[in-house]
A and B are shown apart, each in its own frame.
Chain A
């Protein structure tokens, strides 16, 4: 049947002429297709190339035939063979007048040539001509070629025409012209910088395709310079709104989604514009929230848009409500069966975790499942996430996992990457010196050749300098544990060179420092190393110097040194080495050994590797010697400028060109100032500079709204391998992204033990809070092993949650407050105690208002409701409210009484909705009461329904009110307000 179908198709193609191909060509393709092996295929192709070479250079080939030859070339090139002999014919074909051939020519050259090919220059002229053609299809073909072939030097040749095409009557041409300009911008930003305004103009194009295309260059421009595009925020938001409301033509729908590709691009741009900018972000909340809510999560494209929304939410100025919805999306992703969605879920979790560290905890088991998934892609993504949530309490588990994985893979690129990650994490969060050394040993042992040499140097420095504190005992303990582990490891075969260098250096410096090992033992080991790697001169050099140091310390300590026999032979061998460096080291060693204790101590002082060596550039220590020589009648030194004969020219020249004074000859022409070239460049680049100054904006802004105060732990670190040693100790014990001061005391090992139960508790709390989602998932199947892992990974964060936050940032407070309450609320008496405690902390009136701090964005930004509140409420009233809240938490009957009252008060506050700006005191207090209740009640008493039923506008207004009340609504909360208010 299959064959019949095949034959049928071939027949059909044959009868149509297969879109104009000859039988011969079809046969060729078929024979290649039927080739049994790569070798057979190659044979056919090479044979065919030979015939083609001959035929293509024959004179007077009919054009039709030529076109087919060119297509054959494309085919061979595609199969990985060299068809460069035919490039010139493809170039010639672009000169042809008929579109059919021209198009083939352009297709071939765009596939054959990169933009640095020599033949490009032959095409530029044709392109210029074609860009002016009346036939828009010719123009389109030329623009396709422009995007691929025009390089930095040839941009000026076609730029004016491309710019003219921006106002072409055909939208297809405009679109391609935009993309061509975008390409120019990527290749050479300065060449098109004066045309940036055109992109803005095209944003208002009445063809959605052109508008969509314009978003590409704008995205690039905004990435580089956010500030000059802030004015477009409103336009982007309104475009996105219109797109989401299906205002675009039906043909842009894709699987029932309105123009999703355009939506995604817009969301990307908004994420850039809103990053760290509260005002801009406020414009976006509504539209992003709407998309998040309405988006169809059953189709793949819907999830693509949702994912982009989550990225946007995590990038712009945080809004608790949106974060909440985003967290829901993430949990949907993670619970999905599709690996793709899990992957996206892990990725977006990594993004959101910066904003609200506590959300990872709900998904701990999902994360662990992903970590143990056989799919490498998913596993790596999960490591990425773990990297982001590492802190001192879980660093051991995470790094161990990473190293295990690192050992198991062969992909060197990723191995390097994950090794550097391990090093970075170990440096930042290592719980103990011993662990640190062991970890580094493992990394070096398995990926030593792949890690940056700097890592090794930094490790040496770290061991030498200690960890920044003036704790000598700890330092020496670190060193001796290093020495011990190295002596243990040194016998293993095939250690990477870098690692051996570290070992040699450390053994030389500290091998005998604690007196545990004798000099002869250490030197013996070092000799073994030097012998074992007879091909590696660097390691040998390290070993010899280490031996020298050991002996020097011995001599300085007044002990007698008798050189080992093998040592002696090594030194002799090296002093005859081909490498001068090794020779010198060997001779130095021999010289040092013969000196007396005092001299040796001066040459190689013990443990002075990190002391600065001062270099006396003036050679002042020679002064007395010079003086003596002068007294003995030596000629005094004449500075070069003062020497006779040279003085005129040199003096003359040194006025303007002092650095040239080495040469005796002068070349007049060189002295003429020649500004024209640079100055032209200068003026050219001056005007763009106002628009295109590269500002490191994204990094900066991310920092500003980042939750934790830890300076961008991962951001900066990921790209560079360099150790940031300064303040390493300070960082230890600090969390990565959790805001609150975490696990200050409890040591990690205990933590893991306790953690099991703790997390269990927390987990069940969460499951209660998210009754609707979680309850049907049986928890029985989870193996204790996994739970333990979860505990050790997430244990730290569950602890932090309970502690009142100390970080100064508003958002964190909001986030953890909300989360804290969410999880605490269902726990009855025990937890409510804590609530009370928290409340009492907030007892003083102004602090109570703190409770309202989470209301980051208010719908009416001009008025600050809390200012009003402060004015309206007197302290006693406030504190009574506070008490009320506290009581409500502990005594349930009271709550019910209050709850019963709520309809009335809810009513009054719904009145406040309509006049939010001039609401009076009563309304606000009533609202505040409601708010307090709702926070303590979140998730327990309420029936959970989906939010779908809500009228969007209605819910928005409620949102605004809720924010003014200062409550972060949890996912269930909107329903609460619905019940209370309507």
Chain B
């Protein structure tokens, strides 16, 4: 099971955190500090895995952003590496060649996508298409809601004229 997902920039700035196991705010800060200390200092050709307090942290760097997931001892590291990649691919498809700025300004979108990909610390949907479909369904609903609202306000505006 995945205990948490972290996105950290190369400078150690947090871009996204998602906790699937209970951690208090204090613990969260501590975890982020410790892990960014460990992961950001690792050389480029080393393993993408770090053993950490009885857990394993799998990380991968995309441009200036580190994607980290903390998993149990018995989980398959290579698989988790691919889950990270899977997520990045979906983000890429959604934002259209995603970059760190997209995630900085639209972190809540990244959360929604993550929620469709992982649930309760497990991969819930291995198909990129399905995730994309669900997200666009949500977005279109939001759009229609917006349109409705604007049209209603137009009507009201016209009526009150």
Q: Which residues does A use to contact B, with CB under 8 Å?
A: 6, 9-10, 13, 18-21, 26, 29, 33, 71, 74-75, 77-80, 82, 98-100, 103-104, 107, 110-111, 114-116, 135, 137, 140, 144, 147-148, 171-172, 175-176, 179-180, 182-183, 186, 208-209, 212-213, 216, 249, 251-252, 254-255, 259-262, 264, 300-301, 303-304, 307-308, 311, 339-340, 342-344, 374-375, 377-378, 380-381, 413-414
- What are 21 residue pairs bridging A and B, where the CB atoms are less than 8 Å apart in the complex? A10-B101, A74-B111, A80-B32, A103-B138, A107-B111, A114-B22, A115-B22, A116-B22, A147-B119, A172-B130, A175-B125, A182-B120, A209-B126, A260-B82, A262-B126, A300-B82, A301-B78, A304-B82, A307-B76, A308-B79, A344-B77
Interchain nearest-CB distance for B67 vs A (Å): 14
Q: Give the Cβ gap from B84 to chain A, nearest Cβ, in Å.
A: 11
Looking at the assembled complex, report how far the CB atom of B88 sits from the nearest CB atom of chain A, in whole angstroms: 13
Chain B positions within 8 Å of A79 at CB level: 14
- Nearest-neighbour CB distance to chain A for B43, whole angstroms, equals 8
Flag whether B47 is at the interface (Cβ < 8 A).
yes
Residues of B within 8 A of A135 (CB): 141
CB distance from B159 to the nearest CB of A (A): 20
**A339 in contact with B127 (CB, 8 Å):** no
Docked-complex contact B82 and A114, CB < 8 angstroms: no
Question: Would you give the 0/1 interface string for B132-156, flagging 1 where the beta carbon is closer than 8 Å to chain A?
Answer: 0010011001100110000000000
Q: Mark B58-99, 1 if CB is under 8 A from A, else 0.
A: 000000000000000000111101110110000000000001
Contact of B50 with A by CB under 8 A: yes
Q: How far is the CB of B148 from chain A (nearest CB, A)?
A: 10
Interface range, B side: 35 or more
Q: A303-B78, A374-B43, A378-B47 are in contact. List 6 more A-B contacts (CB 8 A).
A: A20-B142, A99-B145, A264-B79, A377-B49, A380-B51, A381-B51
Are the C-beta atoms of A343 and B108 separated by less than 8 Å? no
- Chain A residue at smallest Cβ distance from B45: A339
Q: How far is the CA of A239 from the CA of B85 in the complex (A)?
A: 25
Cβ contacts under 8 Å, B122 to chain A:
179, 182, 213, 216
What chain A residues lie within 8 Å of B54 (beta carbons)? 413
- Within 8 Å of chain A (Cβ to Cβ): is B10? no
| B157 touches A (CB below 8 Å) | no
- A-chain residues with CB within 8 Å of residue B20 when the two chains form the complex: 148
Determine if B127 and A252 form an interchain contact, defined as CB atoms under 8 angstroms apart.
yes
**Quick one: given A103-B138, A307-B76, A340-B77, are A180 and B120 in contact (CB under 8 Å)?**
yes
Does the CB pair A377–B79 fall under 8 Å? no
- B107 near A75 (CB under 8 angstroms)? yes
| A107 in contact with B47 (CB, 8 Å) | no
Contact of B141 (CB < 8 Å), options: A10, A99, A260, A380:
A99
Are A259 and B126 in contact, CB atoms less than 8 angstroms apart?
yes
Assembly CA distance A413 to B99 (angstroms): 36
Which of B46, B76, B112 is A103 in contact with, Cβ under 8 Å?
B112
Q: Is the CB of A78 within 8 A of B17?
A: yes
Residues in A with CB closer than 8 Å to B43 are: 374-375
Closest to A261 in B: B126
Q: Is the CB of A176 within 8 A of B124?
A: yes
Q: Mostly helix, strand, loop or mixed at chain A's interface?
A: helix
- State in angstroms the CA–CA spacing of A111 and B114 once bound together: 12
A342, B14: Cα distance in complex, Å: 30
Which of A104, A110, A182, A209 is B127 in contact with, Cβ under 8 Å? A209
Query: Among the listed B25, B99, B125, which residue makes an inter-chain contact with A209, where contact means beta carbons less than 8 Å apart?
Result: B125
Q: Any chain A CB within 8 A of the CB of B35? A: no
> Known contacts A137-B137, A304-B82: does B101 contact A212 (CB below 8 Å)?
no
- Nearest CB of chain B from residue A487's CB, rounded to whole Å: 38
- A719 CB → nearest B CB, Å: 11
Give the interface of B toward A (CB within 8 A): 13-14, 16-20, 22-25, 28-29, 32, 43, 45-51, 53-54, 76-79, 81-83, 85-86, 99, 101-102, 104-109, 111-112, 115, 119-120, 122-130, 134, 137-138, 141-142, 145-146
Nearest CB on A from B122, distance (A): 5
Q: Given A137-B138, A340-B48 in contact, is the A176-B119 Cβ separation under 8 Å? A: yes
What distance in Å separates the Cβ of B38 from its nearest Cβ neighbour in chain A?
9
Q: How far is the CA of A172 from the CA of B18 in the complex (A)?
A: 21
- Give the CA-CA distance A110 to B20 in the complex, in Å: 10
State whether A209 touches B130 (Cβ < 8 A): yes
Instruction: List A contacts of B146 (CB < 8 A).
Output: 20, 100
Contact yes or no, B47 A377, CB < 8 A: yes
The smallest C-beta distance from B109 to any residue of chain A, in angstroms, reads 6
Task: Considering the complex, give the chain B residue whose CB is closest to the CB of A417.
Answer: B54
Question: Across the interface, do B104 and A29 meet the contact criterion of CB distance under 8 Å?
Answer: yes
- Choose one: B101, B111, B134; the contact of A9 (CB below 8 Å): B101
Task: Tell me the minimal C-beta distance from B156 to chain A in angstroms.
Answer: 15
Contacts of A175 in B (CB 8 A): 124-125
Query: B residues within 8 A CB of A18?
Result: 105-106
Bound complex: CA of A79 vs CA of B146, how far in Å?
Answer: 30
B130, A340: Cβ atoms closer than 8 Å? no
Contact A6 B107 (CB under 8 A): no
Residues of B within 8 A of A208 (CB): 126-127
For residue A339, give the distance in angstroms from its CB to the closest CB of chain B. Answer: 4
Whether the Cβ atoms of A340 and B49 lie closer than 8 Å is yes
Across the interface, B99 reaches (CB within 8 A) one of A9, A115, A381, namely A9
Residues of B within 8 A of A251 (CB): 127-130
Nearest CB in chain B: distance from A382 CB, A: 12
Measured between C-beta atoms, what is the minimum distance from A267 to chain B in Å? 9
Q: Smallest CB–CB gap between B118 and chain A, Å?
A: 10
**In the assembled complex, how far is the CB of residue B99 from the closest CB belonging to chain A, in whole angstroms?**
7
Across the interface, B82 reaches (CB within 8 A) one of A6, A172, A254, A414, namely: A254
Give min CB distance, A238 to chain B, whole Å. Answer: 19
Smallest CB separation, B100 vs chain A (Å): 9
B134 to A, closest residue via Cβ: A172
A-chain residues with CB within 8 Å of residue B129 when the two chains form the complex: 251
CB distance from A401 to the nearest CB of B (A): 18
Asked whether, in the complex, the Cβ of B78 is within 8 Å of the Cβ of A71, the reply is: no
* Complex CA distance for A307 and B85, rounded to whole angstroms: 18
Nearest CB of A to B48, in Å: 6
Contact of A308 with B107 in the complex, beta carbons under 8 Å? no
User: In chain A, what residue has the closest Cβ to B129?
Assistant: A251
| Residue of B76, B111, B130, B146 with most partner-chain A CB within 10 A | B76
Q: Complex formed: what's the CA distance from A311 to B77 in Å?
A: 13
Q: For the complex formed, measure the closest distance between the CB of B81 and the CB atoms of chain A, giving whole angstroms.
A: 6
Q: How far is the CA of A374 from the CA of B46 in the complex (A)?
A: 9
| A33 contacts B79, C-beta separation under 8 Å | no
Cα(A660)–Cα(B14), bound, Å = 60
Q: Are A340 and B102 in contact (CB under 8 A)?
A: no
Pairwise interchain contact B142-A377, C-beta atoms closer than 8 A: no
> How many whole Å from A417's CB to the nearest CB in chain B?
8
Most buried by B among A77, A80, A103: A80
* Cross-chain contact A104 with B101 (CB below 8 angstroms): no
Considering the complex, give the chain A residue whose CB is closest to the CB of B46.
A375
Q: How far is A19 from B102 in the complex, measured between Cα atoms in Å?
A: 11
Task: Provide the residues of chain A in CB contact with B99, threshold 8 Å.
Answer: 9
Q: Which of A259, A339, A381 contacts B46 (CB 8 A)?
A: A339
Q: Which of B28, B107, B124 contacts A179 (CB 8 A)?
A: B124
A179 touches B119 (CB 8 A): yes
Q: Are A144 and B128 in contact (CB under 8 A)?
A: no
Tell me the complex Cα distance, A10–B104, Å.
Answer: 11
Cα distance, A80 to B25, chains bound together (Å): 7
* B140 nearest in chain A by CB position: A137
B76 to chain A: which residues have CB within 8 Å? Answer: 264, 304, 307-308, 311
Least CB distance from A334 to B in Å reads: 14
Query: A254 to B86, Cβ gap below 8 A?
Result: yes
Report whether A300 and B78 are in contact in the complex, using a CB–CB cutoff of 8 Å: yes
Chain A residues within an 8 Å CB radius of B125: 175, 209, 213
Q: Can you name the residue of chain A whose Cβ is closest to the Cβ of B80?
A: A304
* Separation of A182 and B78 alpha carbons in the complex (Å): 24
Per the bound structure, the CA–CA distance linking A255 and B123 in Å amounts to: 17
User: CB-nearest residue of chain A relative to B79?
Assistant: A304
What distance in Å separates the Cβ of A932 from its nearest Cβ neighbour in chain B?
41
Minimal beta-carbon separation of B129 from chain A (angstroms): 4
Central interface residue in A18, A259, A375, by most chain B CB within 10 Å: A375
- CA separation between A75 and B17, bound complex, in Å? 10
